[in-house]
Amino acid sequence: MDVISVIRTKRDRGELSPEQIDWVIDAYTRGEVADEQMSSLAMAILLNGMNRTEIARWTAAMIASGERMNFDALSRPTADKHSTGGVGDKITLPLAPLVAACGAAVPQLSGRGLGHTGGTLDKLESIPGWRALLSNEEMLHVLDTTGAVICAAGDGLAPADKKLYALRDVTGTVEAIPLIASSIMSKKIAEGTGSLVLDVKVGSGAFMKNLDDARELASTMVALGTDSGVRTVALLTDMSTPLGLTAGNALEVRESVEVLAGGGPADVVELTLALAREMLDAAGVKDADPAKALADGSAMDVWRRMISAQGGDPDAELPVARERHVVTAPASGVLTRLDAYDIGIAAWRLGAGRARKEDPVQAGAGVELHAKPGDRVTAGQPLLTLHTDTPEKFDYALAPLASAYDIAPAGTDFTPSPIVLDRLA
């Protein structure tokens, strides 16, 4: 086979054969297919799609590119969660220790930022000493001793996905539903978790902009998981507005610790608890109350052990950006819209994300929100604070924020969207 014929098949809206899929994934993993060739194929998939047979085979080929893990030796059932990516989505940070505190083991393989969405590993790496890269033995040890681990997928786990994931980030192909589904599910199935809860984001700040696309992605992933023997559930959740009051790396870690301490923004707490209940139910853990585990400090205890076990100092001061810029409300009234995508782009431009897969991120960069839709604001009050180490980026980051919010006259009725929009199983 040759890669040009594979690209042409999908370019011309044909169906890739099982042999073509197996070959191109294997050849790309080995370096026989170049990045520019795979990016061309990824763009053809974005534009022309894949059917269920192709997606299933693509996912199987990604899994077959590496090893598979097994957690049968653990004394408790395993449950994992995956978010399709959003702005201010720090839910994994409080969720993993919370579910562990309630009796399930959480082997959370996470990723780095994709486009305007933040990455869990980028956030946690703002904690001094914390390590994302663990060997399989280290991962199992942390999981066995603390109940939860958040780390990068090892080199041996779906290595084809690791290469393609980074390539999609910088070639405008992140939004391809077949590639999203196969990327997520190849890692999760190879990881060996017994159950999986998917948080499929919907809205301006998500890769899925409408409910129909989100349902298609969610149903595709639920089917892939179920067919592979992994109990899989999906929640469709709102991402028209950023989650919580921060978008950035260290900024979101601080907010996550507030949630674990029994505080934090109401929307972050609500979604954390909703996902925790789904994970515990999928894992077969009964009679556990995640709200109680937040309130009594047991989730915080697991967080501290988990961070320490991966080399981090849970008591260390988190990085703070050297420069700030405050955006004030231009009028008094009710904030009725705060666009997640625009906030995400601003945070990315400030240094919280990357334009190339080799780029570093700034730990302290991001956007702090001082109001959410439904809140009353007064002209001149702080609406947003921008954080960065490179102040020359302020003008670039301010551009998308000019149209990122709406303020209606005082007394305007406004009802925020619910966090959880639908459930698929």
Residues 6+ apart with CB under 8 A from 243: 86, 87, 88, 89, 90, 91, 265, 267, 268, 271
CATH class of 80-155+170-309: alpha beta
Cβ neighbours of residue 160 closer than 8 Å, sequence gap 6 or more:
25, 26, 28, 29, 61, 62, 65, 66, 186
How many residues does the structure list for the chain?
A: 425
Which DSSP state fits 153?
Answer: P
pLDDT of residue 303: 98
**Hey, what CATH class is 323-408 in?**
alpha beta
Cβ–Cβ under 8 Å, residues 95 and 275? yes
Q: What is the pLDDT of residues 122-162, one digit of tens each?
A: 999 999 999 999 998 999 999 999 999 999 887 788 899 88
At residue 38, the pLDDT reads 97
Q: What is the pLDDT of residue 125?
A: 96
Query: In this structure, is the dihedral angle defined by the CA atoms of residues 265, 261, 246 and 309, taken in order, positive or negative?
Result: negative
pLDDT higher than 80, residue 203? yes
218, HSE (Cβ side, Cα atoms, 13 Å): 24
- Residues 90-123 have pLDDT tens digits of 999 999 999 999 999 999 988 887 678 888 999 9
- pLDDT at position 357, please? 67
C-alpha of 152 from chain center: 13
Residue 372 predicted with pLDDT over 80: yes
More confident residue, 310 or 187: 310
Q: What's the pLDDT at 56?
A: 93
Domain boundaries along the sequence of the chain:
3-49, 80-155+170-309, 323-408
pLDDT in tens, 311-358: 999 999 999 999 999 999 999 999 999 999 999 999 999 999 887 767
SS3 content of the chain, % helix, strand, coil (to 5): 45, 15, 40
Segment 49-55 shows an average pLDDT of: 93
Report the catalytic residues.
82, 161, 168, 183, 187
Q: Which CATH class is domain 3-49?
A: mainly alpha
What tens digit of pLDDT does each residue of 7-16 get? 999 999 999 9
